[in-house]
Structure 1
Amino acid sequence: MSIFEAIILAIIEGLTEFLPVSSTGHMIIGSAVMGIEDDPFVKMFNVAIQFGAILSVVVLYRRRFFKSFDFYLKLFVAFLPAAVIGFLLNDYIDMLMENVLVVAAMLVLGGIILLFVDKWFIGGEIDFDVNYREAFSIGLFQVIAMIPGVSRSAATIIGGLTQKLTRKAAAEFSFFLAVPTMFAATGYKMLKYYKETGFESKDFNVLIIGNIVAFVVALLAIRSFVNYVTKYGFKVFGYYRIVLGVAIIVLYWMGYELKIV
C-alpha cells in the first residue's frame, strides 16, 4: 500500500466511520477502485486507522468523556453485548465478511429504514445522559452492526432513538460507544498482525499518516453530522445508502474484485 492510497482510505474512514452509511461499504469501493492488493497489512490498516477516529471523539467531547466513573460504567454496559456475541460468533462473522452481496443488501435495507426513522421516532426527550438499562438496550443494537454493511453508527443511533433520546443525544452516545468498541477491534487486529507478521518501519509510517488524516477528517465529519441531523434528520443518509448498495452490486456484476478489507 502506498502512502497516497493510505491517505485516501484514511479520508474515507474519517468521513464515514461516525455516519450511518457503513464505512465498510465505502472501504470496499475505495479499495476496488484503487486496485489495492488484499494482503494482511491492508486488512490490519483498515481497522487500525480507526484509532485516529477514536481520538477525534475523545478530543471533541473531552469534558463529557472525563466527567465521571459512572459514565465509563454505562459505556461498558453498552459495549458488553457486542463483545460477548463477537467472541462467540467470530467465525460466523468472518464468513459474512467474505460476502460482498451481504454488505450491499444491508446497505439498501438500512437505507430504507433510515428513510422512515424520523417519522417513527418523533419527540425524543432525553438530551444528555442515559441510564444503565438504556445503555444496555443501545448495546444490543450494536450487535446487529456485526453484519457487514449495517453500519455500527446507524444501528446504535437507531437504538438510541428507541430509548427516546433526541437525534443529537443518540448520535453523541453512538460516538462515545465507538471508543471502547473500536479500541478493542484495533488492539486485537494490531496484536494479531504483529504476532503473525511483525511490523516494519514502513508499516509504522503508513499507519501514523493514516491515523493523523483519519483524526482530522473525523473531527470535521462529527461536527457537521451532529449539526445536520439535529436540523434535518436521517433521510438523506437513507437515500445515500441505497445508492451505494446498488453501486456495489453493479460493480460486483461488472467483474470488479470487491473484498472486505
Structure 2
Amino acid sequence: MSFIEAIILAIIEGITEYLPVSSTGHLIIASSFFHIAGDDFTKLFTIIIQLGAILAVVFLYWKRFFQSIDFYLKLLFAFIPAVILGLLFNNVIDELLESPIIVAISLILGGIILLKVDNWFKSNENNNQLEEHTKITYVTALKIGFFQCLAMIPGTSRSGATIVGGMTQKLNRKTATEFSFFLAVPTMLGATAKKLFDYYQQGFTLTPQQINYLLIGNVIAFIVAIFAIKSFIDYLSKHGFKLFGYYRLVVGVAILIIHFYIYPLTTI
C-alpha cells in the first residue's frame, strides 16, 4: 500500500461508512483496483480506519452517550447477534471480503430494496419524532441487531441493513438512522479489536510506516465522516432512499461490466 492509496481508502471510508451504499464494498473494489485487496495490512487498514468514523459519531452526538445506562444496554442487545455470528463465521467472512463479484451482486440487490423502502414504510414518517426513541425497546434493539448481521455479506451495507431493520420496527427514517449510527460504535470497536488480535496472532507486526498510515487514515476518515453524517441526515429526512438505491444499481452493474469486460478486479 502506498501513501496515496491509504489516503484514497480513508476518504472512501469517511464518505461511505454511514451511507447505505456499503463502505466495505467500496473499499474492496478500490483496493482490488489497486491490486492490494489480498494484502494482510490492507485488510487490517480498512477495519482500523473505521475508528475515525466512530469518533465522528461520538463527536456529533456526544450528549446521547451520557444520557443513561439504558442507552448502552440497548446498544449491547443490538450488538449481540453480530458478535455471535461474527465469531462463528469469521473465516467465511474473510473469504467473502476478497470477492468484487459478491460486492456487485449485493449492491444491486440492496439498491432494489432501497428503491422500494420509502413506500413500504411511508406511514412511519407520520410518527412524532419526540416519541420515537421511546419505541426502541430491548426487543426492538435485538431485532435491529439481527438485521445488522446481513452486512457480513460485503456490499450489503451495515447502515442500510440496520436503518431498514429499524423501519420494520415502526421507527421513522431519522430515528432509525441515528440508532444505526450509535450501533456502529460498539460494532466497529469490536471488529477493530478482533482484527488487531488476529493480525498479531498470525505473527505480523506493524512497521512505523504502517502505523503512520493508520493514524493518517483515521484522521481523514474522521473529518470526512463528520460532513457525510450531517449531509446524509439532512438529505434522508427530506428525500428518502431512492437516490442511494439508484446509485447502488449503477455501481453494481458498472463493477460487473468492468470486471468481466474491461479490467478484472483481482485481489492480488
Shift of 1:20: 0.3
Q: How many angstroms apart in 2 are the aligned matches of 1:28 and 1:93?
A: 13
- The one of 147, 167, 171 aligned to 1:165: 171
Alignment RMSD, CA only?
Answer: 1.6
2:253 and 2:225 map into 1 onto residues whose CA distance is 26
Q: Distance in 1 between matches of 2:39 and 2:90?
A: 20
The answer to whether the aligner puts 1:143 opposite 2:149 as a matched pair is yes
Q: How far does residue 18 in structure 1 lie from its aligned partner after superposition?
A: 0.6
Equivalent position of 1:100 in the other structure:
100
Instruction: Supply the distance in 1 between the matched residues of 2:98 and 2:221 (Cα, whole angstroms).
Output: 25
> Residue 11 of structure 2: SS of its match in structure 1?
helix
Q: 1:121 to 1:258 in 2, by over 3 A?
A: farther
Structure 2 counterpart of 1:221: 228
Q: In structure 2, what residue type is equivalent to 1:219?
A: I
1:232 and 2:242 correspond: no
Deviations 1:203-254 (A, max 9, x none): 1111000000000000000010000000000000000001111111112113
Matched-pair identity in %: 56
- Which stretch of structure 1 is more off in the superposition, 219-228 or 34-43? 34-43
Partner of 1:114: 114
Q: How many residues align?
A: 260
Letter in structure 2 aligned against 1:103:
V
Question: What amino acid sits opposite 1:136 in the alignment?
Answer: L
Output aligned runs, 1:36-75, within 5 Å: 36=36, 38-75=38-75
Question: Residues 74 and 135 of structure 1 are in contact (CA less than 8 Å); yes or no, is this contact kept in structure 2?
Answer: yes
Contact 1:29 1:258 in 2 (8 A): no
Structure 1 unaligned segments of length 5 or more: list them: none
Letter of the 2:95 counterpart? M
Which deviates the most, 43-52 or 245-254? Answer: 245-254
Q: Residue 256 in 1 paired to residue 264 in 2?
A: yes
Structure-1 residue corresponding to 2:123? 123
Residue by residue over 1:86-109, the C-alpha shift from the partner in whole angstroms, topping out at 9 and shown as x without a partner, is 111223323333432221111100
The one-letter amino acid of 2:153's match is I
- 8 Å CA contact 2:74–2:137 kept in 1: the answer is yes
Q: TM-score with structure 2 length normalisation?
A: 0.92
Q: What is residue 194 of structure 1 aligned with on the other side?
A: 200
Unmatched segments (≥5 aa) in structure 2: none
The CA distance in 2 between the partners of 1:79 and 1:96, in whole Å, is 21
CA-to-partner distance for each residue in 1:131-170, whole Å, 9 max, x for gaps? 1111011011011111111111110000010111111111
Query: In the alignment, which residue of structure 2 is the partner of 1:210?
Result: 217
More deviation in 175-184 or 122-131? 122-131
Is 1:28–1:258's contact at 8 Å kept on the other side of the alignment?
Answer: no
CA distance in 2, matches of 1:80, 1:7: 33
TM-score (norm 1): 0.95
